[in-house]
Amino acid sequence: MDTKEPIDPFHKPIPEDDFESSNPNLIYANPEKWKIAADILERYTGTAPEAYQKQIILTNFAHYMDRFANLCDDAELSEGSAMTAAHSKKKGVSIINFSIGSPVAALIIEILATADPKAVLFLGICGGLHRSLKVGDFILPTAAIRDEGASRHFMPPQVPALPTFKIQKFVSQIVVENGHDYRTGVIHTTDYRFWEFDEKFKKQLYEERALAIEMETATLFSVGFASKVPIGALLLVSDLPLRRDGIKTKESAKAVFREFTDIHIEVGIKSMSEIAERGEHIRHYRW
């Protein structure tokens, strides 16, 4: 008599390949999409996938590109039809100014997948929501709320937006080694502009107890996970929008760039270059 347990179809392991074949939208599972994505990366940034360094910084601002060029004496700049990039072979780091917002954040991760990066770090700015925060603080997000539209095309709504842990861990060490402090917590990512005047939306933020708010992090994390791109983020608090007179203005933005962004980009470059030098193993789990 056969005493083997009957096979339970509801608990039968699903072969890894089944996930990929069931979703041809995934960049690494669709050769035709991969080919077009590689073409878009070169066209949009002026740099072919194979010319990128394995450690890549993402930014929203031209100022960061200028500082990268000043800090890396071998920086090679390139300009595409939609974005700018720069590359330092000495540091082993590339940087891209991809602009602002969730849709373009999803796009940059998908097309960057064709460069097969070892580590990607988003140097973004955010609005501090927690009363303990001040302008100039660093935040290493542990997760991001997906209040935007792009990530739903890549991951089901119940899947949290999480960074690659080892990137966050490594960056946290570099921040502390350079004499700075940081906060950790959940970030709210939204595609809603001018939410500061929507009382219902602000009430929701209070209930969530999110640490800060911005427009790209959840998308970058979700699409990074879906596209097998290891990614982390180091955010800089640029304003305090829930406080009276706390919304960023032209003058306050200038002050932030003048006082804090140099430290931000320096920590970012050092983090990515030292990952390259130390050979830090980022992909510590199977995708």
Rounded CA separation 141/126 (Å)? 11
Contact 76, 85 (CB under 8 A): no
Q: 51, 53, 47: which is closest to 93 by C-alpha?
A: 53
Q: How confident is the model at residue 21 (pLDDT cuts 50, 70, 90)?
A: low
What CATH homologous superfamily does 16-278 map to? Nucleoside phosphorylase domain (3.40.50.1580)
pLDDT digits (tens, 9 = 90+) for 55-98: 999 999 999 999 999 999 999 999 999 999 999 999 999 999 99
0.75 exceeded by the pTM?
yes
pLDDT digits (tens, 9 = 90+) for 147-204: 999 999 999 999 999 999 999 999 999 999 999 999 999 999 999 999 999 999 999 9
HSE of 266, CA atoms in CB hemisphere, 13 A: 12
Contact 134, 237 (CB under 8 A): yes
In three-state secondary structure terms, 236 is strand
The Cα-based distances of 209 to 131, 206, 232, 235 in angstroms read 11, 5, 21, 17
Which pLDDT does position 280 carry in this prediction? 58
Which pLDDT does position 13 carry in this prediction? 46
What are the structure tokens assigned to 180, written together?
């700075």
What residue type is 280 in one-letter code?
E
HSE of 132, CA atoms in CB hemisphere, 13 A: 9
Per-domain boundaries in the chain? 16-278
